[in-house]
Amino acid sequence: MNDQPQEAALQRDGLSRLTAEVLAACDALACQSEVEGGISRPFLCPTTRQVHAFLSAWATRLGMTTRVDAVGNLRSRLESPVPNAPTLYLGSHLDTVPNAGKYDGVLGVVLGYALVEALADQAAELPYAIEVLGFSEEEGVRYGVSFIGSRALVGTVDDALLDLTDPEGVRVRDAIGGFGLDLAELAGAEAAPNSLGYFEIHIEQGPVLQDLGAEVGVVSAIVGQDRLSLHFTGRASHAGTTPMPLRRDALAAAARLIVGAEDLARAAPGLAATVGMIEARPGAGNVVPGEVTCSLDVRHADDAARRVALDELLALAEREASARGVEFRAEPRMTERAVPMSAPLRALLHQAAEEEGLVHPELVSGAGHDAQIMAGRMPAAMLFVRSPNGLSHHPDEQVNPQDVEAALRVGARFLVRLAESVRAGAEASA
């Protein structure tokens, strides 16, 4: 593991200096917020301009050209000297949840620029163009729909999306115009026809890497998920005078489902099942609950396994309801398929981490990411950086500097190995 290639990219001193620069950039961008004393940056909010100015200045120092596309994605490009070279996209998102931490999204964008800097002169010699992406919208805070930024690259921003309104009644299209952007240029936001792939570095937002003692991990897939509203309808009645056999207790039926979901998910590897919301009516201590509405969230990296689990849970709810004379109805709210990450790009990430002497576990992403959208158009891969205490979507979100440096080392080596494989492919086809 110590047979360091000659690549200038992988100079240790340079990488620890760059790590400090990455962390300083995350600190600086955390000050660009719509609220004082916290970080909040919804889609196309005014402080986005300062974020763009900061990153554009960095891009200019790296010899990149920067534009903001029709939906507000920041895009900095470094051309390849090779004619008709494909484009490799690197990035993450610049919007945040309310009262966010400093690293969710931003870290991956900043690391995109840092990787171009890490490759130094080699970056201008690569057989692919690099485009660093700072997506304008991933979290879905302003419009209740996620991934507006990456949807523009894969061509799935449509009129229905553009006509959605925020709580102030501002449509997506008006927010875009108000920011000084032109929807007529939407087609120009699409990814290049010959896209080599998309690579995103993101904090894990969970405790798995910390538990494994790993700095970074290779994402195998982004989970698929089902979200439903469940309705149990029984009959409210007097808690003292209604004998147990004659009750139609909706909450007792729902409770069996909740416990069953936990039991099933604990026993099935890779399955997550959650009832996060429940409302019982009429909601009095001395009344048998007649009506219950609750949520059900089921996730798995394998779509078939998720469907089997969901069917099992709905059958359980049906059984427990009918045993109590309670009617049961399930209302689907959202279904998203699992998205496996590109096998060749994953293999290169493992190779890069191995060469850097790092452990490189594979893990599933339980949260959604832009990579799942980009995967619809090109090979996509993700590297997770350990989240201390698994904390995210919280102002105390942290990263360890040595983990950020590990991500830089793996990322830089990945880009070099990818260049080798592109050159080998070009020679083979010549």
Q: What residue numbers does the annotated binding site for allantoate cover?
A: 227, 286, 299
Nearer to Zn ion, 204 or 355 (CB): 204
Residue 55 Cβ vs Zn ion, minimum distance, rounded to whole Å: 17
Nearer to Zn ion, 104 or 131 (CB): 104
What is the C-alpha separation between 196 and 401, in angstroms, rounded? 30
φ/ψ of 404, rounded to 5, equals: -65, -40
What is the C-alpha separation between 368 and 358, in angstroms, rounded? 26
x/- map, 172-191, Zn ion, by CB under 5 A: --------------------
What are 26-30's contacts with CB under 8 Å, separation 24+?
Answer: 26/102, 26/103, 26/106, 26/107, 26/110, 27/102, 28/54, 29/54, 29/94, 29/102, 29/106, 29/110, 30/102, 30/106
What is the C-alpha separation between 115 and 228, in angstroms, rounded? 41
Nearer to Zn ion, 201 or 214 (CB): 201
Nearer to Zn ion, 249 or 397 (CB): 397
Nearer to Zn ion, 111 or 123 (CB): 111
Residue 101 Cβ vs Zn ion, minimum distance, rounded to whole Å: 10
Nearer to Zn ion, 66 or 205 (CB): 205
Residue 350 Cβ vs Zn ion, minimum distance, rounded to whole Å: 23
Query: How do beta strands 224-233 and 272-274 pair?
Result: unpaired
Nearer to Zn ion, 104 or 405 (CB): 104
- Check if the beta carbon of residue 153 is closer than 8 Å to that of residue 370: no
List binding-site positions for Zn(2+).
Answer: 93, 104, 139, 202, 393
Residue 152 Cβ vs Zn ion, minimum distance, rounded to whole Å: 17
| Token code pair at residue 426 | 């070009």
- Check if the beta carbon of residue 106 is closer than 8 Å to that of residue 92: yes
Where in 234-273 is the site for Zn ion (CB under 5 A)?
none
List binding-site positions.
Answer: 93, 104, 139, 202, 227, 286, 299, 393
Cis peptide before 282 (omega within 30 of 0): yes
Residue 202 Cβ vs Zn ion, minimum distance, rounded to whole Å: 6
217 CA to centre of own chain: 15
Where in 81-120 is the site for Zn ion (CB under 5 A)?
104-105
- Check if the beta carbon of residue 412 is closer than 8 Å to that of residue 358: no
Size of the site for Zn ion (CB under 5 A): 2
Nearer to Zn ion, 105 or 260 (CB): 105
Residue 99 Cβ vs Zn ion, minimum distance, rounded to whole Å: 15
- Check if the beta carbon of residue 103 is closer than 8 Å to that of residue 203: yes
Residue 207 Cβ vs Zn ion, minimum distance, rounded to whole Å: 17
What are 48-51's contacts with CB under 8 Å, separation 24+?
Answer: 48/72, 48/94, 48/95, 48/136, 48/179, 51/94, 51/134
Neighbours of 426 (CB within 10 A): 12
Residue 367 Cβ vs Zn ion, minimum distance, rounded to whole Å: 7
Site for Zn ion, rule CB under 5 A: 104-105
